[in-house]
Amino acid sequence: MRHTYREIDACGVKVALKLLAGKWTPIIFYHLGAGPLRFTELWHEIPRVSKKVLVVQLRQLEEAGLVARSVHNGFPPEVSYQLTPKGAGLVPIMQSLDQWAMTHITEAVHIA
């Protein structure tokens, strides 16, 4: 059986990789994996990312259901982010990737 282009893009591995491979996704998961964080807390944990880009990344993860956004209205605003169970299910896979990298790529630094 031949697979069409659309089917290939819908392949589970590709869908998962599309979500994981955002430039800041791994470090977001690393920090949120330790528990919920407010936006600015998370922003301060991640060096050299603009607020705009961080917002965009979080929106994408939220839309995919990997991250939950909780708004507590009032002033000042308070918004916290945390991993959903669906998102948390990717954490062990990231650990596998890290394990693979440590085995095969000596130059890589172990962070997350």
- Residue with Cβ nearer DNA (70 or 99): 70
Handedness of CA 38, 41, 45, 46 (dihedral sign): positive
Contacted by 12, from its own copies, DNA, none: CB < 5 to 8 Å by type: its own copies
Q: Which of 24, 30, 31, 33 binds DNA (CB under 7 A)?
A: 24
CA 64: distance to chain centroid? 10
Peptide bond into 76 cis (omega under 30): yes
- Residue with Cβ nearer its own copies (34 or 111): 111
* Binding status of residue 88 toward its own copies by CB under 8 A: no
* Binding status of residue 9 toward DNA by CB under 7 A: no
3 vs 87: CA distance, rounded Å:
29
| Residue closest to 16 by CA, chosen among 71, 105, 72, 94 | 94
Structure tokens of 80? 């916290």
* Binding status of residue 53 toward DNA by CB under 7 A: yes
Structure tokens of 40? 């600015």
Interface residues toward its own copies, by CB under 8 A: 2-5, 7-8, 10-18, 20-21, 26-27, 47-48, 65, 86, 89-90, 92-94, 96-98, 100-105, 107-112
